[in-house]
Structure 1
Amino acid sequence: MRFFVGDGFAAYRGPVGDSTVHRHAAFQIAIAIAQPSEAAVAAAGTAWVDAAGAAGAAGAAWADAAGAAGGAWADDAGAAGFAGAAGFAGADDAGADAAGAEASGADDGGTVAVVDAAGTVVRAPAVVVPPMVRHRLLAAPDLRTYFIDPHCVFADSLRQRYGSIAAFEPRALRAEDIAVQPSGELDPRLVAAMNLLRDAAVPMPDLAAAVGLSPQRLRALALRQLGLPLARWRVWSRLRRAAEALRAGRTPAEAALDAGFADQAHLTRQMREMMGLTPAAVLPVLRT
């Protein structure tokens, strides 16, 4: 299991359990990692290994598809990945074995299943969920999941194409389309305000004044351009800071206060509402 928070996104690789119904303030993209069949493993002459390990005798280690130079979507051994910083994996183990064999025909764990608010199941090798869309993610043995900030340039293209939960084709994207940089479509004042909230708990009057708007106009701007209440982005940003604090070794109670929540119970409620999970559930992932 791996978790990484980068500039404009967060990423997780590993198993996923059933979540409760929730809605988050970022675009979520989940990509299934197909498990190899026994025949594929035998033909390759290697064993399926954990994401944190090496692929058999080849000694192939997990690495970023684009290295530490920056975030980029990339095809790596037949699996599209987002390379945000060194240490987050972007390739299937099966594609890195000594024989170079790929378990592309496997159907075990090769799809993502997301249930929308009406109970409809969207099932595909990769799925995108826009911000503020109620859903729940069904259990899967191995997923690569990304949360894309709604005010980065990659989110501009996602907004144009996806207004609801849908199958996603990562191969259709180019690295230059989604470089981690500010949105080119949103009002720069809104982008600046969201960046300020991402890094600190700034009171609304101070936040609005910092970008040259009244609080009412700033809230209206967020609703008009993002369809997202700025208060939701504030909570999402706090959750991000809480996750970073938990990963650094802080207790849930300490992380809650560090991130600006009233207490641990407040953190738990907001995390369940926006991620369908609790701090106790995510803590093992964050510290792996």
Structure 2
Amino acid sequence: MENGEGTGPRLVVGAGYALYRGPLADSHTHRHAAFQVAFAPGAADPVPMVTATDGDGVRHRGAALVVAPMVRHRMEPVRELVTYFIDPHCAFADRLRAPGGPGITVAPQWRGLREEQVRPAGAQPSARVDPRLRAAMEAAGDDAVPLAGLAARVGLSPQRLRALAQEQLGLPLARWRIWRRLARAADALRAGSTPAEAALLGGFADQAHFGRRMREMTGLTPAAVLPALRPASGQARRAT
């Protein structure tokens, strides 16, 4: 699929990434557990801009923006947005790590990024993340296993596992676990579950808890993403 194909909002989920294309109303301030690449599609003359305001009130505006994990920000409304969420432990994330450190980076080279560019590296492990940490992140989807259990599975102490996550990812594993719960709940919504059912399938206490966590980590509500999850044309899909 190319970014210019199709009409209406859509959401694609693949190995190591998710892709949303559609309108963006004014979002809530949020922090996600993934890298974000965002740009507005359209003609190159003039190049459409996207704007994000960080937690300190600084506005970042450019042809494309890269937002590092756990950076508090709010995206300004735009008629149409293409945004990728890139798992921080996949190989494509290595291309997004800014030399100046975490934050919001104006990165015009990523404008027009296509799914076929992301897909191969999204499915590959990062060369900059300890394999034991990657294994713990992959196992973190099992809510029944506590942090100490995850650490034991990969041969680390809980303290060392927490330190690795902070050093190499810039986020605690607890936040990553919530991110994975949101992904499960979104899958359930796409499959036809009600928001209340999706909340329970995602591991949230109830629908209100699900809504708060989604708003906190994406700036959006379940109701706002439903048009992309269930488009009439059937465009939302899981990448293969």
The normalised TM-score by structure 1 is 0.70
| 2:22 aligned counterpart, secondary structure | strand
**Shift of the alpha carbon at 1:126?**
0.8
Aligned counterpart, 1:189:
132
- Tell me if the contact between 1:27 and 1:148 (Cα under 8 Å) persists in the aligned partners: yes
| Distance (Å, rounded) in 2 between the aligned partners of 1:201 and 1:142 | 35
* Number of matched pairs: 217
Runs of 4+ in 1 over 4 A off after TM superposition: 171-178
| Distance (Å, rounded) in 1 between the aligned partners of 2:76 and 2:143 | 33
* Cα 1:177/1:163, change in 2 over 3 Å: farther
Give the alignment partner of residue 44 of structure 2, picking from 104, 107, 124: 104
Aligned counterpart, 1:29:
37
Give the alignment partner of residue 103 of structure 2, picking from 164, 179, 184: 164
Query: 1:192 is aligned with what amino acid?
Result: A
**Shift of the alpha carbon at 1:140?**
0.5
Does residue 203 of structure 1 match 2:110? no
- Tell me if the contact between 2:136 and 2:154 (Cα under 8 Å) persists in the aligned partners: yes
| 2:97 aligned counterpart, secondary structure | helix
Does residue 13 of structure 1 match 2:33? no
Aligned counterpart, 1:73:
none
Does residue 144 of structure 1 match 2:63? no
- Tell me if the contact between 1:196 and 1:202 (Cα under 8 Å) persists in the aligned partners: no
Aligned counterpart, 2:70:
132
CA offsets 1:83-137 (integer angstroms, 9 cap, x no match): xxxxxxxxxxxxxxxxxxxx43246xx1111111122211111111101111000
| Distance (Å, rounded) in 2 between the aligned partners of 1:172 and 1:182 | 24
Larger radius of gyration: 1
Aligned counterpart, 1:233:
176
Aligned counterpart, 2:10:
2
| Distance (Å, rounded) in 2 between the aligned partners of 1:105 and 1:153 | 32
- Tell me if the contact between 2:21 and 2:82 (Cα under 8 Å) persists in the aligned partners: yes
Aligned counterpart, 1:98:
none
**Shift of the alpha carbon at 1:257?**
1.0
Aligned counterpart, 1:280:
223
Aligned counterpart, 1:217:
160
**Shift of the alpha carbon at 1:178?**
6.8
CA offsets 1:11-52 (integer angstroms, 9 cap, x no match): 011111110111110001001112xxxxxxxxxxxxxxxxxx
* Cα 1:282/1:175, change in 2 over 3 Å: closer
Q: Larger deviation: 163-172 or 230-239?
A: 163-172
- Tell me if the contact between 1:112 and 1:125 (Cα under 8 Å) persists in the aligned partners: yes
**Shift of the alpha carbon at 1:215?**
2.5
The normalised TM-score by structure 2 is 0.83
Aligned counterpart, 1:44:
none
* Cα 1:177/1:275, change in 2 over 3 Å: closer
- Tell me if the contact between 1:128 and 1:165 (Cα under 8 Å) persists in the aligned partners: yes
Percent identical among aligned pairs is 59
Aligned counterpart, 2:56:
118
| Distance (Å, rounded) in 2 between the aligned partners of 1:243 and 1:213 | 31
Gaps of 5+ in 1: 35-102
Does residue 245 of structure 1 match 2:188? yes
| Distance (Å, rounded) in 1 between the aligned partners of 2:207 and 2:29 | 21
- Tell me if the contact between 1:28 and 1:130 (Cα under 8 Å) persists in the aligned partners: yes
